[in-house]
Structure 1
Amino acid sequence: MSSVPIAMPTEGEPTTFAKLLHLMFLSTFWGMQIWVTFISGLIMNSNLTRHTLGLIQSRLFPYYFQLGSACAFFNLTIFAIHHPSELLNEEETFQIIIFFICVTVAGLNAQWFGKITSDIMADMHLIEKSCGLGQDIGLSTNREAYDQLKESNPKYKTFSHQLTLYHNASSLCNLCCIICNGISLYYMAVNLSTL
């Protein structure tokens, strides 16, 4: 029985294990993003009461943001280990910048925007409960009542503006990570043999 020589990785060349880890972290983050953003988020928004949706998001999103941030960090780390800065070509430099952007915005979402959004939403829900609101499905079904609450309660109006600001910032970070991971998946598909 003849033995097939196993090629050892040269310096900078990723091992199969490194490729597997990189693929696992990237696909985990991408899959979570697609599921949370485009599937479960839309289904829950159209089928759950406002307060139930807020409660689920306040419990789910910290894990989603933290796990996504960790996946982005490990992707950057694995890629950087196997692509020393002095040997980077243009394409690899672009890819490492994409990973760095993803780590940064995922970290912002995990440590700041996501947390503040959940805190503001919880404060708003307390005010809404005291006014008998929050059991409607989605905001559009009872928009007038929420608009009246904004006009009659300055604190609620301030929370509403803050929620819009931080929710939009969090959504923008999430979208940026989706784009970065989409680019990274394309890069990985083009360079399957290396990383």
Structure 2
Amino acid sequence: MSALGAIMPTDREPTMTAKLLHLVFLSTFWGMQIWVTFISGFVMDNNLNRHTFGYIQSRLFPFYFHMGSACAFFNLTIFTMYHPSDLLDDREAFQVFIFFVCVTVAAVNAQWFGQMTSEIMADMHQIEQACGLGQDIGLSSNREAYSKLRESDARYRKLSSRLWLYHSLSSLCNLCCIGCNGLSLYYLAENMTTL
């Protein structure tokens, strides 16, 4: 048996290594998503000042988005290696579609929306620092001062609206990937014979 035959069997049965890698990539991405989306942001928002929170996010999110893109790509690659397009049933075709959507959305978020959000936020922080803002903890602790800054500074107002747009698009991409990975986990659980 050749080395290639050991890696990719012709009878469509994935090797233990392929199954393990598929689970590692899917669970890594899922775990990161749950932690970053539902836990770390809330903890940091309630314990760090606005600029420290923003700085950490600007360093953490690019890594998170690129790591997620890579995990999604490897999941798509592994799954399609063992599910040739001419032999796909409807559920397998849907799973390929889900992986493809996840890869595409994660890549767009990593290359565009997430990056733009970080850049805009950094520009806003410079303006806020010049006005003595940014050391307050929590987003709602000093809303009035930020509202006044938006009213008085046209550049800050423009940056604020752009930040809202890109942050919303980035969040939407993130939620889409969470949904895709949730469906993928459901597919895996449905096809497990034992625990």
Question: What's the TM-score once normalised by structure 1's chain length?
Answer: 0.93
Unaligned runs of 5+ in 2: 1-7
One-letter code aligned to 2:63: Y
1:9 and 1:96 mapped to 2: Cα distance? 19
Structure 1 counterpart of 2:135: 135
CA distance in 1, matches of 2:89, 2:184: 16
Residues 70-85 of structure 1 aligned to structure 2 (within 5 Å): 70-85=70-85
The list of structure 1 runs, each at least 4 consecutive aligned residues, that deviate by more than 4 angstroms after superposition, is none
Which shifted more, 75-84 or 136-145?
A: 136-145
Amino acid at match of 2:129: K
- Residue 178 of structure 1 corresponds to 178
Give structure 1 stretches of 5+ with no counterpart: 1-7
- The alignment status of 1:103 with 2:141, answered yes or no, reads no
Question: What is the rounded CA distance, in whole Å, between the counterparts of 1:9 and 1:155 in structure 2?
Answer: 59
Q: How far 1:139 sits from its partner (Å)?
A: 2.0
Deviation, structure 1 residue 164: 0.2
Instruction: Give the Cα–Cα distance (whole angstroms) in 2 for the partners of residues 20 and 139 of structure 1.
Output: 41
Give the drift of 1:33: 0.4
C-alpha RMSD of matched pairs (Å) = 1.1
In structure 1, what residue type is equivalent to 2:187? Y
Identity among equivalent pairs (%): 70
Which amino acid in the other structure matches residue 104 of structure 2? T
Distance 1:41 1:131 in 2: 25
Superposed CA deviations along residues 79-135 of structure 1, whole A, max 9, x for unmatched, are: 011000000000001111000010011001110000000000000000000000000
Pairwise CA distance, 1:11: 2.6
